[in-house]
C-alpha cells in the first residue's frame, strides 16, 4: 500500500471544512458518514495488536454526479505529519482503505474527501469522444483540462512542493492546449495525452483539495501486544507449588513448575495475589470464620503491618526470588500475570494511614465487604466516593506502576465492576501512555452493559459467561454476539473453563468428557482462554455443597498438594490442544468464527479461518458428556476454502486421525468415553510437479 505525507498547511481553499465553520462548510459539498471502526461515536478507541491491518470504511457522497477523491489519513499519536492513502469505492457510496499499525500505543485516523474536478473532466471527455461529438467540442474540453492542470501546477509551486511535478504538469498542459485549430489528427494526439497514466498519477499527487471535507474529530485505535488477542492462561496458587506435603510453596517452587506449564503449552502463568495476608478475621478452610494457627487465609485479604499491594508475602520469597521467576519464565516464552485486587484486610497499612479511603458505619468502625447474605469480615472495600478520591486514585495507579517497573506487564484485575468506572477510564489510558505494553484482563462476571463498558474504558480482554453456556443454541447465540465486528473492535473475550470461584454443575456431573469438551470449546472458540489448574487437569469436581459452585477444600483458604503425575491427568490432551492453537493461525483470532449446521443438536460444528484462506480449522464437539452422538454436519464450503466437489482431508489434531471428505455433508460420530471432540485441520489436495498427490 503506497502512502503519502500530508499536513493541514495548505492554501485557504484547501483547509478542511468543519461543523464549527458554517460559512466554509457551505462550499464543501461532500458528506462523510458512518466511519468504521468507531466505538460510541469515537469517544473510545478501537483496539488492535501490533502488525494488524486496520480496515477503515466510510459512506462518502456528494450532490450531483462528479467524481470524488477519498483518502484515509493516519498517524502515530504524537507525530506531527499525517500519512495518507486513497480509499477504494465499494458499492452504494461505501469506501474502504487500510493502514498497518506497527508500534504499541495510540494511532489517529480520519477520512477526507473532495470533488475531483480533474477525474470528472477525464471521465466526461471519454464519454464525449465515445459519443462522437464534434472536434470543436473536444478541443474546447481539452482546453478546460489544460486549465485544470495549470491550476494544479500553480498550487504545487506556491506550496514549494516537488519542482519536478510542476515542470511535468506545465508540459502536459501545453500538450493539451496545442493545436487549438481543431485539426483531427491533433485532436487524437491531445486526447491521448489526457488519458496518460503519468498525468493522472501526477495530478493525484499534487491534487487540489478544494473545499475538502474531513471527518472530525479524528478517531483513535489503541495498539497492544499480540498476547492481548491470542494467549493461553494457566492459573495456579504459588503456595500450593511445594512438592512436600504441609510446606508453604515459594517462588522457587513455582520456578521448578515452569517446565510443566510450558509442556502444557501455556504462554501466561497467572498468580493470585502474592502479597502479605491479614490476620484479623482470617478465614479458615472452606471459608469458615474459625481460623486455627497455621491456616494461611485468603490471598485476597491483602495487607499486614509488613506491607500491602507493593509487598510480597514473606513465605513466598524475596523480591530477588520473584525476579528470578520472571526471568526463568521469559526464557520459556511465558509471561507472568499478577492479580490486582483493590481491597484491603483490616491490617493493611492503608487502614491506619488513610482511613478516609474506606466507608464507615454509624459507630465509626470501617465496614467490611458484603454481598448479602455473604459477609467477608477479612476484607475492607475501598470507598471511591471518598473526600480524598484523588489521593486514592493516585495510589491505586501507582500499584500498577510499581509492578510494571518490576517487570510485570500482564494483570488480571479482580472485580473491576465494583470499582469506579470513572477511575478505570482515567487509570488505564494514563498507564498505557507510559507503559503501552501493559495488558489488563477484566474479571467482571457482571451485567453485559457493565462488562462492555469496562472493555471500552481500556481493559484489554474480559472474562465472559462462557462457563455457563452449555447447549448448542446457547453457545451459538453467545459467541455470535461476542464476535460481531463492532463488538470485536473493543471487547476481546477470554474464555475460561473454571476459576477458583467457578466449578460449574456441568463439570461437577459430566466426568472426564465434560472437562475435555469444555477445554476444546474454550481453546478454539476463544483466541484467548484460560484454565485454573491443577484442579482442571486433575478434574477436581467436588463442590462445597450441593448447588454450590465453590470447590470443597478450596485453595482460596488452604494449601493443597497436587499429584501432577496422576495417570488420570488431562495434561497430554491439553498439550495437544495448545499445540494445535499455536500451529494453526486460524485459531489466533475470533474474527472469522462461523457456525455450520448439523442434524443433531447434540453436535456443535464451527470453523475458523484466516483472512487469506490458507489455514482453516473445523471443530465438531459432542455436547452430551454421557452418550455417543452421531449425525451429519452440513458445511458452508466457502467458509473453509473448499470448492464444491473437491476432495479434502480433515486431520484431527488431537487424535492424529485423518479422514477423506467430499462435498458439504459428512457423517460424524463421537463417543465421549473415547474423545468428545474433533479438532480438524483442513488439508486440501494438491499435485506436485512429479504428479504426486498430497494434502497441504
Taking the alpha carbons of 305, 308, 312, 318 in that order, is the dihedral positive or negative? Answer: negative
Kindly provide the b/e burial profile for residues 585-594, where b requires at least 16 CB atoms within 10 angstroms of the residue's own CB: bbbbbbeebb
Distance CA 672, CA 512 (A): 9
Q: Residue 528 in contact with residue 496, Cβ under 8 Å?
A: no
Q: Is 598 helix (H, G, I), strand (E, B) or coil?
A: strand
Kindly provide the b/e burial profile for residues 266-289, where b requires at least 16 CB atoms within 10 angstroms of the residue's own CB: bbbbbbbbbbbbbbebbbbbeeee
Distance CA 12, CA 621 (A): 64
Grid coordinates given for 70: 477519498
According to DSSP, the β-strands at 493-496 and 528-532 are parallel
Question: Is 473 part of the annotated catalytic residue set?
Answer: no
384-389's contacts with Cβ under 8 Å and 24+ in sequence apart are 384/419, 384/420, 384/423, 386/356, 386/357, 386/358, 387/356, 388/354, 388/356, 388/357, 389/420
HEC readout, 199-244? HHHHHHHCCCCCCCEECCCCEEEEEECHHHCCEEEEECCHHHCCCC
Kindly provide the b/e burial profile for residues 18-52, where b requires at least 16 CB atoms within 10 angstroms of the residue's own CB: eeeeeeeeeebbbebeebbbbbeebebbbbbbbeb
List the catalytic residue out of 414, 540, 555, 558.
Answer: 414
Q: Residue 130 in contact with residue 174, Cβ under 8 Å?
A: no
Q: Is 299 helix (H, G, I), strand (E, B) or coil?
A: coil
Distance CA 478, CA 465 (A): 8
List the catalytic residue out of 52, 395, 443, 540.
Answer: 443
According to DSSP, the β-strands at 46-49 and 219-224 are parallel
Question: Is 583 part of the annotated catalytic residue set?
Answer: no
Distance CA 247, CA 561 (A): 9
Report residue 352 CA to chain centroid gap.
41
Kindly provide the b/e burial profile for residues 503-535, where b requires at least 16 CB atoms within 10 angstroms of the residue's own CB: bbbbbbebebbbbbbbbbbbbbbbbbbbbbbbb
Kindly provide the b/e burial profile for residues 476-497, where b requires at least 16 CB atoms within 10 angstroms of the residue's own CB: eebbeebbeeebbbbbbbbbbb
Distance CA 381, CA 671 (A): 48
Give the CA distances from residue 451 to residues 149, 414, 459, 476, in Å, rounded to whole numbers and listed in that order: 55, 13, 10, 20
DSSP 442-474: EE--S-HHHHHHHHHHT-SEEE-SGGG--SHHH
Q: Is 130 exposed, middle or buried (0-12, 13-18, 19+ CB in 10 A)?
A: exposed
Taking the alpha carbons of 240, 241, 246, 252 in that order, is the dihedral positive or negative? Answer: negative
Strand positions, DSSP E, 544-592:
none
Alpha helices (runs of H) in 435-548, residue ranges in sequence order: 448-457, 472-482, 485-488, 505-525
Q: List the one residue out of 695, 629, 687 whose CA is nearest residue 662.
A: 695
Q: Residue 218 in contact with residue 110, Cβ under 8 Å?
A: yes
Q: Residue 502 in contact with residue 549, Cβ under 8 Å?
A: yes
Catalytic residues: 414, 443
Amino acid at each position: 500500500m503506497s502512502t503519502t505525507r500530508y499536513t493541514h498547511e495548505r492554501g485557504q481553499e484547501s483547509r478542511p471544512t468543519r461543523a464549527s465553520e458554517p460559512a466554509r462548510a457551505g462550499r464543501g459539498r461532500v458528506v462523510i458518514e458512518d466511519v468504521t471502526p468507531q466505538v460510541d461515536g469515537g469517544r473510545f478507541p478501537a483496539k488492535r495488536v501490533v502488525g494488524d491491518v486496520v480496515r477503515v470504511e466510510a459512506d462518502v457522497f456528494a450532490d450531483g454526479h462528479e467524481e470524488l477523491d477519498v483518502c484515509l489519513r493516519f498517524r502515530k499519536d504524537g507525530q506531527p505529519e499525517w500519512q495518507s492513502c486513497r480509499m477504494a469505492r465499494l458499492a452504494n457510496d461505501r469506501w474502504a482503505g487500510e493502514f498497518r499499525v506497527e508500534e504499541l500505543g495510540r494511532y489517529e485516523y480520519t477520512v477526507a474527501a473532495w470533488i475531483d474536478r480533474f477525474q470528472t473532466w477525464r471521465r466526461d471527455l471519454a464519454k464525449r469522444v465515445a459519443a462522437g461529438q464534434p472536434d470543436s467540442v473536444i478541443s474546447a474540453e481539452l482546453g478546460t483540462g489544460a486549465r485544470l492542470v495549470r491550476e494544479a501546477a500553480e498550487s504545487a509551486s506556491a506550496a514549494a512542493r516537488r519542482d519536478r511535478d510542476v515542470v511535468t504538469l506545465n508540459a502536459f498542459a501545453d500538450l493539451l492546449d496545442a493545436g487549438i485549430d481543431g485539426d483531427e489528427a491533433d485532436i487524437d494526439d491531445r486526447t491521448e495525452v489526457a488519458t496518460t497514466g503519468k498525468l493522472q498519477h501526477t495530478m493525484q499527487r499534487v491534487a487540489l483539495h478544494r473545499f475538502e471535507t474531513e471527518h472530525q474529530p479524528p478517531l483513535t485505535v489503541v495498539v497492544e501486544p499480540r498476547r492481548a488477542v491470542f494467549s493461553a492462561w494457566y492459573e495456579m496458587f504459588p503456595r500450593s507449588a511445594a512438592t512436600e506435603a504441609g510446606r508453604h510453596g515459594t517462588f522457587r517452587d513455582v520456578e521448578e513448575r515452569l517446565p510443566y506449564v510450558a509442556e502444557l503449552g501455556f504462554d501466561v502463568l497467572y498468580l493470585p495475589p502474592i502479597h502479605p495476608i491479614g490476620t484479623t478475621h482470617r478465614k479458615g478452610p472452606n471459608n469458615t470464620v474459625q481460623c486455627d494457627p497455621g491456616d494461611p487465609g485468603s490471598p485476597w485479604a491483602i495487607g499486614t503491618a509488613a506491607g500491602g499491594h507493593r509487598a510480597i508475602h514473606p513465605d513466598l520469597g524475596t523480591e530477588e526470588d520473584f525476579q528470578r521467576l520472571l526471568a526463568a519464565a521469559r526464557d520459556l516464552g511465558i509471561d507472568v500475570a499478577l492479580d490486582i485486587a483493590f481491597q484491603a484486610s483490616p491490617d493493611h497499612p492503608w487502614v491506619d494511614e488513610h482511613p478516609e479511603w474506606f466507608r464507615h458505619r454509624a459507630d465509626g468502625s470501617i465496614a467490611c465487604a458484603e454481598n448479602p447474605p455473604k459477609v467477608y469480615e477479612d476484607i475492607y472495600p475501598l470507598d471511591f466516593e471518598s473526600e480524598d478520591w484523588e489521593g486514592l486514585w493516585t495510589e491505586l495507579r501507582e500499584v500498577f506502576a510499581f509492578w510494571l517497573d518490576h517487570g510485570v506487564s500482564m494483570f488480571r484485575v479482580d472485580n473491576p465492576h465494583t470499582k469506579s468506572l470513572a477511575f478505570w477510564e482515567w487509570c488505564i489510558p494514563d498507564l498505557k501512555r507510559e507503559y503501552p505494553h501493559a495488558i489488563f484482563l477484566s474479571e467482571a462476571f457482571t451485567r453485559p452493559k457493565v462488562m462492555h463498558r469496562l472493555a471500552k474504558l481500556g481493559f484489554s480482554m474480559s472474562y465472559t459467561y462462557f462457563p455457563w453456556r452449555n447447549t448448542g443454541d446457547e453457545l451459538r447465540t453467545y459467541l455470535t454476539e461476542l464476535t460481531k465486528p463492532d463488538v470485536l473492535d473493543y471487547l476481546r473475550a477470554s474464555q475460561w473453563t473454571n476459576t477458583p470461584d467457578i466449578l460449574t454443575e456441568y463439570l461437577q456431573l459430566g466426568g472426564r468428557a465434560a472437562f475435555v469438551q469444555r477445554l476444546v470449546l474454550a481453546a478454539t472458540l476463544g483466541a484467548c482462554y484460560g484454565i485454573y489448574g491443577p484442579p482442571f487437569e486433575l478434574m477436581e469436581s467436588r463442590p462445597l455443597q450441593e448447588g454450590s459452585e465453590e470447590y470443597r477444600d478450596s485453595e482460596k483458604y488452604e494449601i493443597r498438594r497436587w499429584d501432577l503425575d496422576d495417570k488420570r491427568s488431562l495434561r497430554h490432551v491439553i498439550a495437544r490442544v495448545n499445540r494445535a492453537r499455536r500451529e494453526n493461525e486460524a485459531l489466533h483470532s475470533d474474527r472469522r468464527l462461523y457456525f455450520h449446521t448439523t442434524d443433531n443438536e447434540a453436535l456443535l460444528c464451527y470453523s475458523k479461518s484466516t483472512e487469506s484462506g490458507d489455514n482453516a480449522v473445523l471443530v465438531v464437539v459432542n455436547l452430551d458428556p454421557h452418550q455417543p452422538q452421531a449425525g451429519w454436519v452440513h458445511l458452508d464450503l466457502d467458509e473453509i476454502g473448499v470448492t464444491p466437489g473437491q476432495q479434502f482431508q480433515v486431520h484431527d489434531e488431537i487424535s492424529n486421525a485423518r479422514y477423506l471428505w467430499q462435498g458439504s455433508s459428512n457423517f460424524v460420530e463421537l463417543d465421549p468415553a473415547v474423545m468428545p471432540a474433533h479438532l480438524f485441520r483442513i488439508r486440501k489436495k494438491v499435485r506436485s510437479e512429479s504428479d504426486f498427490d498430497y494434502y497441504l
